[in-house]
Structure 1
Amino acid sequence: MIKTIIFDFGNVFINLDINGALQHVRDTFKIDTLSDEMTAFNSLYEQGLISTDEFLEFYTENFPKLSKEELVDVWSFMLKDFPEHRLRFLKQLKSTSKYKLILLSNTNELHITWIKKHIPFYSDFKNCFDAFYLSHEINLVKPNPNIYKFVLNQNTLTANECLFIDDNADNIDTAKSLGIKTWRIDIESEDVTNLFNVKTNLF
């Protein structure tokens, strides 16, 4: 029996353009691929292990023709719209009090700052959750098993009584390996608001 639903943020509630963002990075930086050093810095930043200033300084040193403001725009390019029907679904789910609701997202400080500025109902969204975990605040990232164990332990949860919803295969696979029930959303054909129609077998 599912007692807790754990949601990802990107491509579950807010739409992302990850492929477009990668192409935008390559075009702006005039590179063919991200270097290992760039990938490592990005990961450290996502985990909150370096500050926003340190992150931006790394990029301004490597791409001195770009201002910090331009770098912030490049970094936030993947963030798109947040359809309000998903907020309405979440609010309705919250009102039933049937499930503990948790957000678990790989989200860095610059991205959450952009979201707070551009999504007017962000506070309403956050208030729907019983617990709200962003990777840069807890220094853990998916798909590392430790982030799931952290959520289970912090909330005294039983793995097989939890449903985890994410669009990323690696994140889903790790959750499954810990005994958590999962739904990998197909962003081309599925919407979180259809949860109780397409995943009736999980409840």
Structure 2
Amino acid sequence: MTTIVLASQSPARLQTLRNAGLDPQVIVSGVDESQLDGLPPRELALGLARLKAEAVAPQVPDAVVIGCDSVLEFEGQPLGKPRDAEEAIARWQRMRGRSGVLLTGHAIVRGDELVAATAETTVHFADLSDEEIEAYVATGEPLHVAGAFTVDSLGGPFVTSIEGDYHNVVGISLPLLRELLGELGIRWTDLWRG
């Protein structure tokens, strides 16, 4: 039996994996994400995913460790979690009625092997009123997620459509994860909990 470890504290990633038949352990990496500040969005998402997976892997040498990190690329800039409510409101005022690209870096470590790639999904945002933005930010949800939005929770009504993998917007691309595991010789169906 292959032990899967998710190097992320994201409840959405954990639930997505559980819904797909996996039962991962969770070990939070605790890495300092600011060490990669200044990188372009795609490199940032992938770099953070690698940092997380590589930080946790030595703690569980016989496991398969999955690290992920998401960044919204908007107007060429990476948007992670907003610092505070003011930033979340300002961000939504810029994003409303427009689109961004949600990038999720995926890194998998098994022993001395590492495979990594980035999934991308275009997200189209609704044209929200100032009142809707303020009410959404007041829930606190946008303060805990990359891009200041969710598609699978309170923010769902504010995403008009996506182009690409839905699960990637939630925080982990199941099709990409399956491909990367395959590169390590691991069949997805062998990971289903029995």
**Same topology, TM > 0.5:** no
TM-score by length of 1: 0.28
Q: Which has the larger radius of gyration?
A: 1
TM-score by length of 2: 0.29
Q: Which of the pair is proportionally richer in helix?
A: 1
Q: Which has the higher contact order (CA 8 A, sep 6+)?
A: 1
